[in-house]
Structure 1
Amino acid sequence: MAKTGMVIVSHSEEIANGVVKLASEMANDNVEFRAAGGTGDGRLGTSAMTVLKAIESLSKCKSILIYCDLGSSVLSSETAIDMIDNTLLRAKCHIVDAPLVEGAFFGAVEAAASDDVQKIITESDNARNLHKN
């Protein structure tokens, strides 16, 4: 089974790192995580360059799933994907429309068992139906 890459994009470096820590507890060696939180200089916000570096570091993965927290994190991720010159790498990238924490967690569980990108995305999306009471 090929590795799946997961990039966690948050306005907060601490949140991105925390989600990576949580989701990686449910994964195995089939999943590689990268946190892409904050602006790169300690401020809150997002950086397309930080996301791009995370994506490029996962270039050997079969697919790269990008989980975002809020609006501009999606824009930064889209910009990062647009900046990729390598069409094969660009084709591996998928922005997942799922809740950040729960989606990454469910996705990590599925990616530990399968490298089927559509199954992983579907499981991530199913996280939005998780009821907490």
Structure 2
Amino acid sequence: MSVGIVLVSHSPALAAATAELASSLAGAEVPIAPAGGTEDGGMGTSIDLISAAVTEADKGDGVLILMDMGSSVLTAKTLLADLEDEDNAPVVRLADAPFVEGAVAAAVLASTGADLEAVAHSAEQGWAMRKL
């Protein structure tokens, strides 16, 4: 098993493309679920889509959620608060990380069997990835 990853974006296309990129580098054993846009496919965020993605990505080792910006963070925080009230809720952690770089770093480390905290730390180190 490995840590699952949920990618929350305002854009369904961005969430799906980032999931595809991270999966191609980490391998199929890392469950990565995009949660982009609204239920009708529009721009925005949806707590229902995020919740479904968490369920899909949860394989028992915890789920890391990465968000793109703004209301995606607020929606993910709301879901986290809701999960606190549920029995047998999955272990979920939010990452303060750049969306694409963090997703790739998290997925690659998750493929090694690292635990949730290590995977989150790897994602958050994405802020230090310099391009020039």
TM-score (ref. length: structure 2): 0.91
Partner of 1:130: 129
For the 8 Å contact 1:59–1:89, the answer to whether it is kept is no
Question: What one-letter code is carried by the residue in structure 2 that aligns with 1:58?
Answer: A
More off after superposition, 56-65 vs 93-102: 56-65
Gaps of 5+ in 1: none
More off after superposition, 31-40 vs 72-81: 72-81
Q: Does 1:8 align with 2:7?
A: yes
For the 8 Å contact 2:61–2:115, the answer to whether it is kept is no
Gaps of 5+ in 2: none
Cα distance in 2 for partners of 1:56, 1:86 equals 13
Cα distance in 2 for partners of 1:42, 1:98 equals 25
Question: What one-letter code is carried by the residue in structure 2 that aligns with 1:103?
Answer: G
TM-score (ref. length: structure 1): 0.90
For the 8 Å contact 2:3–2:58, the answer to whether it is kept is no
4+ long deviations beyond 4 Å: none
Q: Does 1:95 align with 2:89?
A: no
Shift of 1:58: 3.0
Work out the percentage of aligned pairs sharing the same amino acid: 34
> 1:26-77: per-residue Cα shift (whole Å, max 9, x none)?
1134410111000121211101111011112234331100000002001111
Partner of 1:65: 64
Cα distance in 1 for partners of 2:121, 2:80 equals 21
Question: Matched residue pairs, number?
Answer: 131
Q: CA RMSD in A?
A: 1.5
